[in-house]
Structure 1
């Protein structure tokens, strides 16, 4: 993830350049993905901060198309990994192969060595295979044969999971869930959007031969990441962010008893870090060089929904994690 490299603000030409780049990437994305504005925003925030994204929805809601569209928009090296129960860690990170002609081992890097990596149906892979992603997502490197291999920059993992099919799946451990900056839950398109999807398919929009030129370069993405680190965040908003995370860990002191008893575990400090970085990116997307409390509120569901662990009673009583997040937002005074 990005570090806060400066607090000197952003000059007007730099802001104009950032808006031009973000707009170009968004238009290229929209040419392939109908609707899904929040998904576009989520992926852009992940790309601009180096934070990974977890997407959850039923099949057919353009998760793979969206990741591919983002990669095409910025000339990124894209790899798709279909997760299955028999997938091995070496299938992701890479392995060593013996070269009989030379009598030595050669290293073959795995598909995770790309700019944008799509882990399709990540919860279908075993816990051992899922753990192979921890080093890549956090340390931005893989270890093969006792040697470390850095991942390319920028690097973004987009993982998907299907919530309606549980047979043959493995629950993601909290340690790995916490490494995703954002979790977005996708909805079905409207009837008009669904009709537009069919029209674009008939028009050949998704034909690989007709792929439009990239809207930006990887160097431009790195420039955006640098600008995100220079967006100003006031100490009062930092205290607000920390307060939100604190309330999730001490729900019994701040939430009504009916909701507080449902919370088993709150958000870790990674949530506060994610709030700070994602809010900076959202402010830059909105043409501002400073963060507003509304940026934090707009991101709350995406940052906290996979970090607050609810007990079984929440399922029985049909209480969603979003309901608890809304209560947390209401419990902390807005600066």
Structure 2
């Protein structure tokens, strides 16, 4: 069950006030993210001036479009909560303990990231990290992160880094998978809720699994990820909150350790832009294999050129400013074609803020 604060239990908050509170909460996170980036950039330039990066100027008209998109996703988030896709209390969920514990560490780590970016050190890991058993494309300092995805240090800072990057909208973007997920699962209404199985591929720190559990508290949840450190963080996050603990496994999405047709739904959030093209296709094919006929596969990832051409300068700058070696190909890749090639049907797409969603069915026959 989703917990609520004692104040909410004693004094119900009117919907209009709750909505205003939520909007203010999100705006506060956005302003904090902007202030953090502006201040740290100025300070780091004083300490260690950054090598000039060949980024394209962002046209002035793009900024109001971004603000409009952010307002739209905040409104969509509120509307989904209001109609019961997930509890309203989820909207105010924030990892405050992690924020106060790790934000000072994140600020210190920013200097290492800055220096690594300046010196173009893209494959640098601590000497105590075992490097065997991972695909070569995974051994990268994605976003110039210290230790890539392979240390507890990285896992502890990741959610804060993503929140700052997206101005506090990371969870609202993740939550956009929940409405189509619940809608698709109506195909299995005759199945007891406890027997509904959902897999999150590349579950990372467990944020998406936590949100799915908020919306579908009785479902049996599963998660796989290549990083043992991120799985430890996911286990910590999911243990701290009420609900059954999902089954987490270290595994590659290209070779899922499950039998055919096992899951009623499969999800993947913010994975595909960090995969080379061949790996994207294999993950899609494996997701098709493990999903039941009539089941759904939902992808949430970055926008692409085909759906957001007006934001082309931002997409082109992203892979230049951050170490995202496969992003340039991703933004022109045809994911619908890849899903169709794997056997999925009834493929639909949506765009919310900086994220794109693909919802695909595995046919009954």
The reply to whether TM is greater than 0.5 is no
TM-score bracket relative to the smaller structure: under 0.3
The normalised TM-score by structure 2 is 0.26
* Structure 1 length-normalised TM: 0.27
